[in-house]
């Protein structure tokens, strides 16, 4: 069994990628890749919880994914709805909060209902947070935050000079969560694809050729070990130790 890393990130974000290619390489419909991807999601979420990682964020459906064939999108939406419904009790059992980020208004009504039910039922759970990015795009998220701030300035609730980084962060979908320490992308692609661009500005990046359905708890641990070996300087000359959690971040868990 792979040894556990000495230093764990508080927040791990994963760009889930490679389901379709996994299926195509096996001569299967792309939908079977999404089924296998859900199983990988379960394994990694369980391993993250077992290791005690506070926040696990998964990029499950981007604003650009609507460009895929309509039949594939419908299948994926149904699959996500069933997964959230079937695993709601498991989240409660393990005291894990579900948080959905992105523009949920465009999602099918059935998926929106299951997301709302699961987030409401688990909102008081403080044993960890599972973040599901659904119809998520970081640029759109930042634009929504800017619009919300602009409305407050327009009504006189805020002065323009009060707008700073902390205020912008407070208006993002991830408000109250610690920023990602480690961002993983599967399938060999080496780009962020509009995921957590603001939040991941100082995240350590880990890229793997492994397609998401084949991403195992063992390789997840390898990524965590790689993170533990890195020196995080944040623009300085010396490695900066992990800062203690704030009261706000502790409450967010």
Convert the pLDDT of each residue in 28-72 to its tens digit: 999 999 999 999 999 999 999 999 999 999 999 999 999 999 999
Q: Whole-prediction pTM value?
A: 0.90
Show which residues are catalytic: 17, 65
Using CA atoms, how far apart are residues 187 and 53, in angstroms rounded to an integer?
Answer: 23
Q: Which of 37, 121, 122, 31 is nearest to 83 (CA)?
A: 37
Domains recognised in the chain with CATH numbers: 11-137+178-252 (3.40.1180.10)
| Sign of the dihedral defined by the CA atoms of residues 210, 9, 6, 234, in that order | positive
Q: How many CA atoms lie within 13 A of 66 on its CB side?
A: 10
The secondary structure element, H or E, covering residue 99 is strand 97-101
Task: Please say whether the beta carbons of 99 and 11 come within 8 A.
Answer: no
* More confident position, 252 or 58: 58
């Amino acid at each position: 069994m792979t040894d556990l890393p000495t230093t764990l990130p508080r927040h791990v974000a994963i760009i889930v990628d490679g389901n379709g290619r996994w299926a195509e390489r096996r001569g299967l419909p792309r939908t079977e890749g999404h089924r296998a991807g859900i199983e990988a999601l379960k394994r990694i979420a369980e391993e993250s919880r077992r290791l005690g990682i506070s926040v696990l964020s998964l990029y499950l459906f981007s604003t650009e994914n609507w460009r895929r064939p309509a039949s594939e999108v419908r299948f994926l939406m149904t699959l996500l709805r069933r997964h959230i419904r079937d695993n709601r009790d498991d989240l409660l059992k393990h005291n894990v909060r579900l948080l959905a980020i992105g523009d949920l208004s465009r999602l099918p009504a059935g998926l929106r209902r299951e997301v709302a039910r699961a987030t409401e039922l688990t909102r008081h759970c403080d044993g960890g947070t599972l973040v599901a990015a659904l119809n998520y795009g970081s640029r759109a998220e930042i634009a929504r935050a800017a619009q919300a701030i602009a409305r407050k300035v327009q009504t006189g609730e805020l002065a323009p000079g009060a707008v700073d980084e902390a205020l912008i962060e407070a208006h993002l979908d991830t408000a109250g969560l610690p920023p990602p320490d480690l961002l993983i992308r599967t399938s060999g692609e080496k780009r962020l694809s509009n995921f957590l661009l603001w939040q991941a500005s100082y995240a350590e990046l880990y890229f793997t050729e492994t397609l998401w359905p084949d991403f195992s708890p063992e390789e997840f641990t390898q990524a965590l070990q790689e993170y533990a070996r890195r020196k995080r300087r944040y623009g300085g000359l010396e490695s900066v130790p992990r800062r203690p959690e704030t009261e706000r971040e502790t409450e967010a868990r």
